[in-house]
Amino acid sequence: MSPPMERARFLRQSRVLVVGGKGGVGKTTVTAALARMAADAGLDVLVLGLDDAGALPVLFGADVTFGYDEVPLYSGTAGRVRGRVITPDDALLEYLMDHGLRRVAKRLVSTGVLDVVSTAIPGIREILVLGKVKQLERLDTTDLLVLDAPATGHAVRFLTSANGLLDAARGGPLRTQAAEVVEMLHDPVRLQVLLVTVAEETPVNELVETAFRLEDEVGVMLGPVVVNACYLPAAGVGERWLADPEVLAAAAGEPPMRLGEASALRRAAGFRAGREAVQSEQLERLNAELPLPQLRLPFVFSDDIGPEQVAELAEAIGRAIEELDERQLQSALATTPASADAPAAGAPTSAPVPSAASAPFAAPEPPAAGAPPAAPEPPAASAPTAAPEPPAASAPPAAPEPPAATQPPAAAASP
Ligand SMILES: Nc1ncnc2c1ncn2[C@@H]1O[C@H](COP(=O)(O)OP(=O)(O)OP(=O)(O)O)[C@@H](O)[C@H]1O
Ligand SMILES: [Mg+2]
């Protein structure tokens, strides 16, 4: 089967993809990349921001005002991406207007009735938003809805609220709404959650805990974990490079280094080697603790992330999907309508994922899923004379990056 078909097949498993994870790990960026990849694979995609659009318009390079109405974000040759925001107030207003309360609706909502009601009925805001998602999903006017979910703590509450309301409300429209939302959350053909993390200790811990909570408390299908901002192995960042940049440069026939150049290179190589070591350890741990396939995305070396970088990440997700082990792909695809009654195949405790020993993800190095553009490699430490790009005498090599310039997103993220 041709690669684009594989991507489209994978993306058509569920009509709604909820992209969740800890604050700052790249949920919005991954949402944009997934939507773009889906559009390039021929799907008609609607991206949903909660409360506000965040960076979504910037990520698509779209000069649009992102609100409750849909706006175009991207047009590919085969598919397109549109975007909109869902807020509880707008969802309530729409609900009241649809239920014959047009005249009072605007006044009620503008007087802040929702704030009063939501104190009395916890979970009402979440139900209004998820109810709207469910309505959009049922309308069936788009191939795929991608929801940029709130950061983890809120996301768990966001997704558990329907169960809570179902327990609390005896009857009436609220109960009906909650029941229909729960039905959607339990149906992998309709909705699945993709959790995003970076390969660092705290985000990985939080992701593992969230995955099990979502399975236990919501019973939602979990798709592959997206490990964002992975450092691809930089050839030559080895012990010799850390110790002897001058010797290696001389062996490569380069003129003597300028003052401070060797120590800058040593620091950069040390930083990069340290990052790679942490990453390998965390990827192995994630693999051991959570039996879900992983889609690894590269760290993008760029000052800003815009449409070009999103395209790069979209391609990387596509390739990572194609690299999924066939068994993992089959388990993910086991939720297609033909076998919709199968148990949630991606759930942490039930996923028929290969053992760590046989999983392609067990290797400590991430797969070469597309090198970050601005990460030139230092000369190979083991063969200095054969290095294609010896360090330039006039300027220190750009890679590995010095620490300050290369903090991955979560390093700066809130705890
Ligand atoms: N693969 C990547 N490579 C490099 N930088 C990245 C990558 N993914 C995201 N970033 C950067 O990390 C920062 C956080 O990303 P993003 O806003 O997507 O995270 P988020 O999880 O949506 O955050 P929040 O929880 O605040 O909504 C941004 O500055 C973004 O440009
Ligand atoms: Mg975000």
In ligand 1, the atom with minimum distance to the C-alpha of 30 is 18
Domain assignment present for 133? yes
Bridge partners of residue 343, in order along the sequence = none
CATH number at residue 358: 3.40.50.300
Digit-coded pLDDT (tens) for 87-99: 988 888 888 788 7
Mean pLDDT, residues 29-54: 94
Compute the distance from residue 54 Cα to the ligand 2 centre, in Å. Answer: 6
Query: Relative to the alpha carbon of 374, which ligand is closest?
Result: 1
Out of 72-76, 152-156, 293-297, least confident range = 152-156
User: Which one is predicted more confidently, 254 or 234?
Assistant: 254
Domain assignment present for 315? yes
Residue 359 confidence (pLDDT) above 90: no
User: Which one is predicted more confidently, 224 or 236?
Assistant: 224
Query: Relative to the alpha carbon of 23, which ligand is closest?
Result: 1
Compute the distance from residue 148 Cα to the ligand 2 centre, in Å. Answer: 7
Domain assignment present for 105? yes
pLDDT for residue 382: 35
Residues contacting ligand 1 via CB (< 6 Å): 23-29, 54-55, 151, 228-229, 297, 299-300, 305, 313, 409
The count of domains in the chain is 1
Domain assignment present for 410? no
Query: Relative to the alpha carbon of 297, which ligand is closest?
Result: 1
Out of 141-150, 181-190, 245-254, 284-293, least confident range = 245-254
Domain assignment present for 392? no
Domain span at residue 332 reads 3-233+289-376
In ligand 1, the atom with minimum distance to the C-alpha of 32 is 18
Identify which of 22, 27, 28, 29 to mutate to test ligand 1's pocket (most ligand atoms within 8 A of the CB).
Answer: 29
Residue 55 confidence (pLDDT) above 50: yes
Indicate which residue's Cα is closest to atom 19 of ligand 1. 26
Domain assignment present for 76? yes
Domain assignment present for 82? yes
Domain assignment present for 414? no
pTM: 0.78
Instruction: Kindly state the percentage of the chain with pLDDT values over 90.
Output: 45
